[in-house]
Structure 1
Amino acid sequence: MGEFVRLEPHVIEEIVAICQTTIEALEAARDIANNLTDTQGFGEFESAKQLAAGYSRKAAGTPESAQERVDQFIVAFTQLQDAFASGGQAFLEAEFDWVRQLQAIDPDSAV
């Protein structure tokens, strides 16, 4: 990286706190996502069982499922938090790799 960016300690602390708040919210979302696999109540018809199985797959078990997406965001924000907690230098040295990670999780995002 050719340019040098200096972050004030209070800015780093604020960013770390924001990351922690985001991680806590994502962990709460993970708890909710874990319950999405409970797809009872669709009935006993074969089409109802297929519908329940489809919803269950969207909840967990594939890279695009709710549980895995939330876990991916938790990992990305934890890495971002760790990078800033190290004084911000690791963030700058990573050449914004966390942005690429977030974009890979949600390619439609405009991060």
Structure 2
Amino acid sequence: MSKSMYLNADAMTKCQNVCDGMIDQLDLALERARDLTDISGFGDFPSAVELHAGFQAKGTVGHASVVERLKQYRSVVVHMRDTFSNGGAGYAAADSEIRQALDAVIGERP
């Protein structure tokens, strides 16, 4: 038995809008996170230089960096929004087909 989740069209639209807002916030966070390449104030001691390099890498370098994680999160939210959008389109099409079928049946009444 397959399990399905059903949402009405209004709920899907609201979910799309929430996703759009999240994407805007993630875009802003990405813009700010890219500035993490320019960090300072650690000093010149060898341990400070290592600490600086470590924090800089966590901000912008590699698959576990803040920038990369924000990109991944944004990608997931875009897929969620698209899913709600496609579901809404499918819902509207099915609703229209059902309405036409009902109209046809009602039109056939004596």
**TM-score between the two structures when normalised by the length of structure 2:** 0.72
Pick the structure with more helix per residue: 2
**1:67 corresponds to 2:67:** yes
Aligned match of 1:53: 53
Instruction: Please say if residues 60 and 66 of structure 1, whose CA atoms lie closer than 8 Å, have aligned partners that are also in contact.
Output: yes
Which secondary structure does the structure 1 equivalent of 2:87 belong to? Answer: coil
Aligned match of 2:84: 84
What is the alpha-carbon distance in structure 2 between the residues aligned to residue 51 and residue 3 of structure 1? 50
Aligned match of 1:98: none
Q: Over alpha carbons, which structure has the higher Rg?
A: 2
What is the alpha-carbon distance in structure 1 between the residues aligned to residue 43 and residue 79 of structure 2? 43
Identity of aligned residues (%): 31
Give the count of matched residue pairs.
90
Q: Structure 2 unaligned segments of length 5 or more: list them.
A: 91-110
Greater relative contact order (Cα < 8 A, sep 6+): 2
Root-mean-square deviation over aligned CA pairs: 2.0
Which secondary structure does the structure 2 equivalent of 1:36 belong to? Answer: helix
CA drift of 1:88 comes to: 5.1
Q: Structure 1 unaligned segments of length 5 or more: list them.
A: 91-111
Cα 1:48/1:5, change in 2 over 3 Å: closer
